[in-house]
Chain A
Amino acid sequence: MVSEEYRGRRQWSRNKQAVATVLWISFLTAAVATMLFFAVFDPVELLAAFDADLDVGRQGGYAAGFFFFWIIAAGCSATTAWLVLTAPKRDAQHR
C-alpha cells in the first residue's frame, strides 16, 4: 500500500504495466535462451551449415539470435497478456 502522501501519484496504468512487464520478462527469457543456445551452437558454424551467404561474424550472430529470441518471447507473452486483459468479464453472480 502506498502511503497517503503518494497515493494515486505513481501508479502505472494497466496497459503501461502490461507493456513494461512483457518487454522485461521476454528480455530476461531471451537472455537465458541466447546463453543456452549459443553455449551449444557456434553462430559461425551454424551459418556455414546452412550455406547462408551472410558474413555477420560471431557478434552479429549472437545479436541476431538474441533479438530473434526476444521477439518470439515478447510475441508470446504479449498475446498471453492481451488475452488475459481482454477476457470477457465474469458475471457478478459467478464471481
Chain B
Amino acid sequence: MSTPTNTERPRAAALYESAKKIYPREIKGRFESLSKLATNVLLGLFYFVPWLMWDERQAFLFDLPARKFYLLGLTLWPQDFPYLALLLMIAALSLFFFTALAGRLWCGFACPQTVWTEAFIWMEQLTEGTRSQRMKLDKAPWSWNKLRRKGSKQLLWILFSLWTGFTFVGYFMPIHQLGLDILAFNVAGWTLFWGLFYGFATYGNAGYMREQVCKYMCPYARFQSAMFDKDTLIISYDEARGEPRGGRKRSVDRKLEGLGDCIDCKLCVQVCPTGIDIRDGLQYDCIACAACIDACDSIMDTMDYPRGLIRYTTENALEGRSTHVLRPRMFIYGAVITLLATALFTSMITRTPIILDVIRDRNTLYRELPGDVIENSYTVKVINQSNADRNFRLSVDGVPGLTLDGVAEQFTVVGGDVLSLPVRARTGRDNAYGIMHITFTVSAVDDETVAITEDSRFLGPTP
C-alpha cells in the first residue's frame, strides 16, 4: 500500500472531503470493449427476447397465471420441475468452472448487478459528463445547469427502470397484450406492482447501491475465493516489477533511479468501480471488471514500458513457478457439466409429451355391484403436453378380468390441456381380494410408442 507523504495527505482529504460516492473514471481498452460487448449482448437479449414470437405466441413465456412455461416449441408444466433443477445444477457448476478458471468473470462481465450498473453509469456520463465533471457538478451549488443535468439523468434512469420493469413482467404474461393494457391505463394491480417493484429495484441497485451490493449483500462475493487455487487466473499487480513505485519524467531511466515500472499515477484506482487499489493485492471487493488492466496498459504504452504490469495471471506465475491453467480440476468440472447438459438435452427431446395422474376415490373402499362384481372409482387426469390435439386410449392391467367403465375407446385431449375422467374399474368377485396393485396406461392412438403408465391400487373384500 502506498504511504502518502505528509504533504499529500491534507490535500487529498480536502479534495475528497465531500466525496461520499465513488466516481469511476471512464477508460478505453481491450477489456472495456469486452465488457461493453457483454453489456450490450446481455441487455439486448433481456429487452428483446420477450418480443420474439413462435407460432403466434410468445417464444419465451413463463405463463404463471396458466402454470405453463413456453420455451420456443416446448411447453413445460409444473410436473417438469426436474428439468429446472437440472438446469440450476448446470448453472452452479458452470459458475464453479469459470471461477476456478479465471476468478470472478461472472461478477465482472455477466452479473445483472454489473451489467445494469454499467448501463446506469453510461447514462450518468451522458448527462453529467466525465469523472471530474461529475465531481465538480456534485460540489457546485444548485444552478440551472446542475438541475438540467441531474434532472435529465433522473429522467433517463427512471424511464429505463420503468421499461426494465415492464420487460421483466413481459416474461410472465404476454408482453404485447401487456403493452396495450398499459397504453389503455388498464393494468391489473399485481402486474403493476411487480413491474414497479422490479423497476425500482433496478433504479436503486444500479443507480445508487452499485458496488455496495457486491460488498455487503452478495454471498457469492464472500465465498468465491474458496474456489480459487494457485492456478486460477486473477487480476493482479506485478509487485516484483512495479515496486518501488514513484513518479518520474518520461525521459528518466528507471533502472538508474532504482524505480520499478509503477509510476504511481493512481489511474487504476480512479477507474475502479469499487474504489479499491489493486496494488494492495487480491481483495474481496474486486469484481474483476479489468478496468485497471486497461488503465495501466494505457499508461505503460505512454511510458514505452511493456504492458501487463496489472494483468490476468496466476499466483504460481507471479511467484515464478510453473503454472497450468488447464488442470485436472477444469476437466472434471467440464466433464460433469457436459454430462448433465447431455442428460438434460436428451431427456427433453425424448420425453413423452403426456402426463398421467391417477387418484383413487378415497370415500369408498370398493362397491359391490349385482352379479358378483367389485368396482373401484378413480379420477384419471390426462395432460397433453404437445401443442396439437391428440387422440388417446386408456387401459388398465394387473388384475384378471379388469375392465374400465366411463371412458370411451378413444378420447381427444386438446393440445396443452388437461382432461379429467371419472373412471370405474370392475372385475369379478373371484378375482378381487385385499389390496391389489394395478397399472393404468395411456397411449396415443396415432403412435403406440407414445405411452405412459401410472400405478394405483384396486381394493377388494378381505377374505
Contacts and interface: CB of A to CB of B under 8 A. Distances in A.
A5 interface: yes
Interface stretch (B19-27, B91-99, B155-163, B329-337): B19-27
B250 interface: no
Contacts of B67: 42, 58
Interface of B: 1-2, 4, 12, 16, 19-22, 64-65, 67, 78, 81, 84, 188, 190-191, 193-194, 211-213, 216-217, 219, 266, 269-270, 272, 275-277, 280, 283, 285
Given A39-B78, A63-B190, A4 B65 contact: no
A2 interface: yes
A16 to B, nearest CB: 8
A25 B19 CA distance: 30
Task: Among A1, A42, A58, find the residue whose CB has the most chain B CB atoms closer than 10 A.
Answer: A1
A55 B12 CA distance: 62
Interface in A6-48: 6, 9-10, 12, 17, 20-21, 24-25, 38-40, 42
Interface of A: 1-6, 9-10, 12, 17, 20-21, 24-25, 38-40, 42, 57-60, 62-63
Contacts of B269: 3-5
B1 A1 contact: yes
A42 B381 CA distance: 15
Given A58-B65, A59-B64, A59-B191, A4 B21 contact: no
9 contacts: A1-B1, A2-B276, A5-B269, A6-B19, A10-B22, A25-B219, A42-B78, A59-B190, A63-B193
B216 A21 contact: yes
Nearest to A17: B216
B277 A1 contact: yes
A20 to B, nearest CB: 6
B212 A21 contact: no
A9 B2 CA distance: 18
B217 A2 contact: no
A38 B172 CA distance: 15
B217 A24 contact: yes
Given A1-B277, A5-B266, A60-B190, A12 B21 contact: no
A32 B285 CA distance: 27
Contacts of B19: 6, 9
A20 B12 contact: no
A10 B212 contact: yes
Given A1-B1, A12-B216, A59 B188 contact: yes
Contacts of B280: 1, 3
Nearest to B193: A63
B194 to A, nearest CB: 8
A10 B191 CA distance: 35
A5 B20 CA distance: 11
A6 B193 contact: no
Closest 9 A-B residue pairs measured CB to CB? Answer: A3-B277, A6-B275, A3-B269, A39-B81, A24-B217, A59-B190, A39-B78, A1-B280, A58-B65
A2 B275 contact: yes
B381 to A, nearest CB: 12
Contact of B64 (A21, A24, A62): A62
B20 A2 contact: no
Nearest to A57: B65
A9 B16 contact: yes
A42 B77 CA distance: 12
A4 B276 contact: no
Contacts of A62: 64
Given A10-B21, A24-B213, A40-B78, 4 more contacts: A6-B16, A9-B16, A9-B19, A58-B65
Contact of A21 (B1, B2, B188, B217): B217
A54 B285 CA distance: 48
Contacts of B277: 1-4
A10 to B, nearest CB: 6
A20 B84 CA distance: 29
A10 B81 CA distance: 42
Contacts of A3: 266, 269, 272, 275-277, 280
B442 to A, nearest CB: 22
A5 B272 CA distance: 11
Task: Among A9, A58, A60, find the residue whose CB has the most chain B CB atoms closer than 10 A.
Answer: A9
A90 B277 CA distance: 34
A4 B4 contact: yes
Contacts of A39: 78, 81, 84
A5 B12 contact: yes
Nearest to A21: B217
A2 B285 contact: yes
A12 to B, nearest CB: 6
B22 A6 contact: yes
